[in-house]
Amino acid sequence: MRRKMCGIAGYIGDKKAPIILFEMLKRLEYRGYDSAGIACISKGRIIVSKDKGRVDDVRKKINFKKVPASVGIAHNRWATHGIPSHENSHPHQDCSKNFAVVHNGIIENYKDLKEELLQLGHKFRSGTDTEVIPHLIEEFYKEKKNFEYSFVNAIRKLRGSFAIAAISSNESDRILVARKESPLMIGIGKGENFIASDMPAIIPYTRNVIVLDDFDYGILGRDSVQLKDIQTGDELKRDIQRVSWGLEEARKEGYEHFMLKEIFEEPDAVRNALKGADEAERIASKLAEYKRIYLVACGTASYAGMVGRYLLERFGISADAITASEFRYSTINILDEKTAVILISQSGETADTIASAKGAREKGAYLAAVVNVVGSTLTRISDDVIYTYSGPEIAVASTKAYIGQLVSLTLIALFLAMERERITREYTNEILDDLNGIPDKIQSILHEEREIKRLAQRLARKNIFFYIGRRLGYPTALEGALKIKEISYVHAEAYPAGELKHGPLALLEKGVPVIAITPNDDLLEKMESNIEEAKARGATILTVGESGELNVPITDSLLTPITYIVPLHLLAYYISTAKGFDPDKPRNLAKSVTVE
């Protein structure tokens, strides 16, 4: 199935909608940058301006004076569903052009719906699944000249996932929205209201936010927000949350890229995640009741899960770390009410992680989530949540959120081990003290930025990298390699160091960089032997360690994943910029993978 993921926004008030909508899209650009577009109601007509390309490029093509409008919707697209093109860009319209729709998600039954609509005489302009929605609305509008009736009946015909916003030139005083499995929130202003896929688009205008639940739909006026259940039509009450994130947190604050800013926020990420200690203790006391524990996540978050597993195993507690896209189709079969699942996600919106949670819930498992984004889907389907409080992470490559996840999982592992009487309160307090000292240690690594940058410039010409580590060093190797692949487009492989001889060694030759994670622990000698093996094949060795080329301060071995990854984040960042790439927006990738 071809998939897409996107950002949507909407505004209704008395200000200039096109200007606000483009500002909002800019803050949602991390969700997709293949195309951008807006639809506004101007003098009783819907005016659509859209094209492929980035938000700024599309904005330049618009003469804002020609669109005096105070109601509109907007979209930016991350495409794999059809090429990025003008036709496939959102908003999409019906035949009469009385309706415009933006959509994030996937309409699984769009082919059948399109077939029905074609037979009814509708003409399609794009190859997208989304376009069936305005045509369905148009069709229902023929039955009863009522926008809400047509919208909700159209939505009821959709299978799949969606966050949708729609406007109509017939009823220009409202925006209609609906949500199922794709994020959508409403910002409540004074005499104006907003919709967006994510907080950073809303917080410059208002801090009062309602996060829609699955199967909610809403009718937004300038002064009103009404929410109803898609299936029953019953009116709903949802809490207004006060968001504490400031806009400044969502901006670059003078850093060249969000990724660099976010790496420099890693000391704070540790401090902030430590605020979740009480929650970690509460979750650990529940986890203690369960026989089996799984740590489930995708990408970088899954490496945090692996660290969690190694920590628990260190304390003699059995645990498994499994990537969500595999867990949901296989491991799920052996789950029962004696199982606990720890789900880890920065966004709390990752499709495979959410599907794993839902599947585990059906099997009666206990669900604890480690999440950054407050109010995200995962937080609402889990039994308990520990927030990492890392603040908005805008760069596609996850950095500070990973650090936050490591801290939260370390807290959970420590409290669980104490609960199971594997470690004492005194030992736990010792490690907690060490954890409190980690922000300064990270700071001292960040002070080495210039040396790391120089090293990166030397390495920027290499087109293959190996990362090796053992035990807690292995997930660090995986995360280091993922980061460099993701933003520098070079081939990077990570292996448990003991695996080199089982095949990968054949790839080593003169000058190939091998980055070895070498914490000063009982496995150091084994790592040194592996390094010798690689050296003997001419590889260029770079060690991350207490006296490595990438230097890290002395740290208790349990906490090394938190410090050892920091120079690797910086290294990946500077290799990417040395190659002239934009590390914030890697090709083919999007920040939140909200579809499978």
Active site residues: 6, 591
Instruction: Give the residue, chosen from 300, 382, 388, 543, that forms a contact with ligand M6R under the rule CB under 6 A.
Output: 300
Instruction: Give the residue, chosen from 196, 270, 523, 593, that forms a contact with ligand M6R under the rule CB under 6 A.
Output: 593
- Minimum CB separation from ligand M6R for residue 198, in Å? 11
Q: Tell the burial category of 272 from Cβ atoms under 10 Å away from its Cβ (0-12, 13-18, 19+).
A: buried
The whole-angstrom separation of Cα 74 and Cα 62 is 14
- Minimum CB separation from ligand M6R for residue 485, in Å? 10
Draw the binding track, 155-184, toward ligand M6R (x: CB under 6 A; -: no contact): ------------------------------
Q: Per CB under 6 A, does 266 bind ligand M6R?
A: no
Angle, helices 425-446 vs 400-419, to 10°: value is 170
Q: Tell the burial category of 316 from Cβ atoms under 10 Å away from its Cβ (0-12, 13-18, 19+).
A: exposed
For residue 96, give the DSSP letter. S
- Minimum CB separation from ligand M6R for residue 196, in Å? 17
Q: Tell the burial category of 580 from Cβ atoms under 10 Å away from its Cβ (0-12, 13-18, 19+).
A: exposed
Binding segment for ligand M6R (CB under 6 A), chosen from 21-29, 31-39, 393-401, 470-478, is 393-401
The whole-angstrom separation of Cα 561 and Cα 517 is 10
The whole-angstrom separation of Cα 226 and Cα 219 is 5
Instruction: Give the residue, chosen from 98, 169, 331, 347, that forms a contact with ligand M6R under the rule CB under 6 A.
Output: 347
Find the binding residues for ligand M6R in span 398-427 (CB under 6 A).
398
Instruction: Give the residue, chosen from 486, 514, 534, 573, that forms a contact with ligand M6R under the rule CB under 6 A.
Output: 486
- Minimum CB separation from ligand M6R for residue 591, in Å? 7
Q: Tell the burial category of 69 from Cβ atoms under 10 Å away from its Cβ (0-12, 13-18, 19+).
A: buried
Structure tokens at 208: 């009062």
- Minimum CB separation from ligand M6R for residue 592, in Å? 6
- Measured from the Cβ of residue 271, the count of other Cβ atoms closer than 10 Å reads 15
- Minimum CB separation from ligand M6R for residue 436, in Å? 25
Instruction: Give the residue, chosen from 98, 104, 168, 353, that forms a contact with ligand M6R under the rule CB under 6 A.
Output: 353
Draw the binding track, 179-218, toward ligand M6R (x: CB under 6 A; -: no contact): ----------------------------------------
Q: Per CB under 6 A, does 272 bind ligand M6R?
A: no
Instruction: Give the residue, chosen from 298, 367, 394, 477, that forms a contact with ligand M6R under the rule CB under 6 A.
Output: 298
Kindly tell me which of 260 and 527 has the beta carbon lying closer to ligand M6R: 260
How far is the CA of 199 from the CAs of 150, 250, 399, in angstroms? 29, 9, 19
The whole-angstrom separation of Cα 72 and Cα 38 is 7
Q: Which residues pair with 356 in a beta bridge?
A: none
Kindly tell me which of 172 and 345 has the beta carbon lying closer to ligand M6R: 345
Q: Per CB under 6 A, does 494 bind ligand M6R?
A: no
Q: Per CB under 6 A, does 513 bind ligand M6R?
A: no
Q: Is 382 helix (H, G, I), strand (E, B) or coil?
A: coil
- Minimum CB separation from ligand M6R for residue 589, in Å? 6
Contact yes or no for 55/93 (Cβ under 8 A): no
Query: Which value, in Å, is the radius of gyration of the alpha carbons in the chain?
Result: 25
- Minimum CB separation from ligand M6R for residue 514, in Å? 22
| Count of residues in contact with ligand M6R, rule CB under 6 A | 16
Which segments of 269-397 are extended strands (E)?
292-297, 320-323, 339-345, 366-371, 384-387
Kindly tell me which of 129 and 486 has the beta carbon lying closer to ligand M6R: 486
Three-state SS string over 163-226 comes to EEEEEECCCCCCEEEEEEECCCEEEECCCCEEEECCHHHCCCCCCEEEECCCCEEEEECCCCEE
Kindly tell me which of 431 and 593 has the beta carbon lying closer to ligand M6R: 593
Instruction: Give the residue, chosen from 17, 152, 307, 396, that forms a contact with ligand M6R under the rule CB under 6 A.
Output: 396
| CA atoms in the 13 A half-sphere facing the CB of 511 | 6
Kindly tell me which of 350 and 543 has the beta carbon lying closer to ligand M6R: 350
Which residues of the shown chain bind ligand M6R in the complex (CB under 6 A)? Answer: 298-301, 345-347, 350, 353, 396-398, 482, 486, 592-593
